[in-house]
Amino acid sequence: MTDPYVSARPAAPATILDALDRAADGDRGFDFHSARGALLESLPYARLRDDARALARRLLAAGLAPGDRVALIAETEADFVRLFFACGYARLIPAPMPLPMAFGGREAYLAHIRRMIERADAAAAFAPAPLKAWLEEAAAGLPLRFVGALADLPEDAAEGDLPRPAPEDLAYLQFSSGSTQFPKGIMVTHAALMANAEAISRHGLKTTPADRCVSWLPFYHDMGLVGFLLTPVVAGLSVDYLATRDFARRPLMWLELIARNRATISYSPSFGFELCAQRAATLDLKDLDLSSWRTAGIGGDMIRPHILRRFVERFAPHGFDAGALTPSYGMAEATLALSFAPLGEGLRTETLDLDALENEGAARPAGDEARAREFVLCGPALPGHAIEARDAAGAVVPAGAVGRIFARGPSLMTAYFRDPDATAEAVADGWLDTGDLGYVADGQIVITGRAKDLILVNGRNLWPQDLEWAAEREIPGLRSGDVAAFSVDGAEGEEVAALVQCRSSDPETRSKLADDVAGLLRQRFGVPVVVRLVGAHALPVTSSGKLSRSRARELYRAMAAQA
């Protein structure tokens, strides 16, 4: 049956600037909030359009030319949004870049940003005022025509028209998360962006004028940028923002903004739901009402069902509906989304026999006595897109067999910026090799892990998440995100290793933790695991907060060399 609202919506605009023009005729826009929920700035779409057009003329007067890349340190603030859209009006290519939160210190962050600016071959770089000095140090000696904060940009404005970009022109460069290697610049055209944003709003979320969004997701990540900055412009929705760092300190403010503004749509990786459930355990939240939240999306990383059930249990008394949980799947190389679970159905899972999965690559239901793991169904491919699982020879595997996931559709990237080898490896004949492993069940995609993370031991395929989650759930004192498992080259072939965060300096406590983790994993998975302890917050993560197993492996090797 055709959705009457979807069929009644006007035709999709050709570019994100056309979408902003349409949104500016309404009364919606963006609201930015402090850590305590106070409104810092309201930016209606009409004002955003006017501000961005005026700023575009200043960018051109500063010597930038259409096609130049502009690095933008992506703080959750109105000036980033103005600059992003100003780049569009000036036909410049914005390249959002991360904040320091996910890096191990100042020097590591500066080196990372410098390399990203070089990768983008940027002509200018902007930072929020508090990070201006850091950006200037990171960019020292690079051939940039402007480096600084928005307030430093000269007031001179270029004359003449601002010709619009064409649908096939680049809308922005989105850097990949870098979970397995240094981030690559993903080239996203206006056509790909509009195809994805329209598919998300019309079919994935089925937005209506009554919807309102809340987000703490960073603008340098595809879920924050596309999902909660650009798609709301296309759908004409308002968004309330909480900075990512403020969410990390006060996660329940996310829920308070949803309740206060009667928001209907908000997303998070699993760990965001976990933080809220943990923080709420000892607080009185009697006035919190989450009954308006119709779509609680989950994406950005492997979905952990037990965490989401804990969230439902904790917040059901506050009006949260378990049916609002909406798993989804996607990646920046596809602009953002590839699939959405059907709205209103909540979490659907399959519990699989781990022995069959590890030894045969078969998604077979687990019996009562079998070692098992639960996987989440992430919905069918969005209209106009296709997803399939293939074997090592490239043949499509039957339903229920695990294979490498490939995707096709109008949302795919053009290429990796100036990286033809990586592009050729990722895209062939219109199909994107996602690098993920999974299978199809009941017409829905199920992701089992990343191919590059897979641990191969004695003919078995071990998923590192299985080892990590087993230790975190069953060893007292460990929390979600405390364990990184991976394979390393040993004296007798491939070995399994794990880095474990330990918050104690007591030698006996540390020794017992290492022995307990090694013993549990040997018992559960039948393989010896070399365990090394690291300090709290020592496990490397990507700019979007995902565990970086490749960097964890490098850390392990460095520790082993010093031992």
**Which pLDDT tens digit goes with each residue over 190-224?**
999 999 999 999 999 999 999 999 999 999 999 99
Question: What average pLDDT does range 490-497 have in this prediction?
Answer: 79
Q: Which of 74-88, 402-416, 494-508 has the lowest mean pLDDT?
A: 494-508
Q: Are residues 34 and 168 in the same domain?
A: yes
Give Cα separations from 246 to 81, 354, 525 (angstroms).
19, 39, 39
Two tokens at 279?
Answer: 């923080």
Q: pLDDT at position 21, please? A: 97
Residues 385 and 490 both lie in one domain: no
Confirm whether 468 is domain-assigned.
yes
Residue environment code for 415-453, b if the CB has 16+ CB neighbours within 10 A, otherwise e: bbbeeeeebeebbeeebbbbbbbbbbbeebbbbbbbeeb
Domain end call among 224, 250, 276: 250
341, part of any domain: no
Residue 279 lies in a domain: no
Among 451, 484, 500, the domain boundary falls at 451
Residues 51 and 127 placed together within one structural domain of the fold: yes
* Same domain membership, residue 445 and residue 482: no
Report residue 44's pLDDT band, with 50, 70 and 90 as the boundaries.
very high
Same domain, 243 and 219: yes
Same domain assignment for residues 179 and 46: yes
| The last residue of a domain, from among 390, 422, 451 | 451
> At 10, is the secondary structure helix, strand, or coil?
coil
Q: What is the CATH number of the domain that holds 390?
A: 2.30.38.10
- Average pLDDT value over all residues in the chain: 93
What was the pLDDT predicted at 12? 83
| Residue 254 CB partners (closer than 8 Å, separation 6+) | 214, 216, 242, 247, 266, 268, 272, 276
On whether both 487 and 476 belong to a single domain, the answer is yes
pLDDT digits (tens, 9 = 90+) for 82-94: 999 999 999 999 9
Q: Does 325 fall in a domain?
A: no
pLDDT score, position 3? 47
pLDDT tier for residue 491 given thresholds of 50, 70 and 90: low
166 in a structural domain? yes
pLDDT at site 1 = 39
Residue 90 belongs to domain with CATH number:
3.40.50.12780
Q: What is the per-residue pLDDT for 90? A: 98
User: How far out from the chain centre does Cα 179 lie?
Assistant: 11
289 in any annotated domain: no
Mean predicted confidence (pLDDT) in 173-189: 84
- Percent of all residues in the chain with a pLDDT value above 70, rounded to a whole number: 96
Has residue 8 been placed in a domain?
A: no
So what's the pLDDT on residue 103? 75
Residue 55 has pLDDT above 60, yes or no: yes
- In this structure, are residues 247 and 215 in contact, taking their beta carbons and an 8 Å threshold? no
Could you tell me the pLDDT band of residue 284, with boundaries at 50, 70 and 90?
confident
Same domain, yes or no: 395 and 528: no
Rounded CA separation 293/265 (Å): 6
Q: Which residues pair with 189 in a beta bridge?
A: 170
Mean pLDDT of 157-179: 91
Q: Are residues 480 and 359 in the same domain?
A: no
pLDDT of residue 8: 53
Task: Please check whether residue 262 lies inside any domain of the structure.
Answer: no
Q: Say whether both 126 and 245 belong to one domain.
A: yes
pLDDT of amino acid 490: 74
Q: How confident is the model at residue 122 (pLDDT cuts 50, 70, 90)?
A: very high
Total domain count, the chain:
3
Q: Please return the burial class of 369, using the count of CB atoms within 10 Å of its CB with bins 0-12, 13-18 and 19+.
A: exposed
pLDDT of residue 349: 97
What mean pLDDT do residues 318-334 have?
97
CATH (domain of 493): 3.30.300.30
pLDDT of residue 9: 62
pLDDT tens, residue by residue, 504-562: 999 999 999 999 999 999 999 999 999 999 998 899 887 767 888 888 999 999 998 88
**444 and 495 part of one domain:** no
pLDDT reading at 104 higher than 80? no
Specify whether 397 is located in the same domain as 533: no
**Residue 128, helix vs strand vs coil:** coil
Domain containing 199: what range? Answer: 13-250
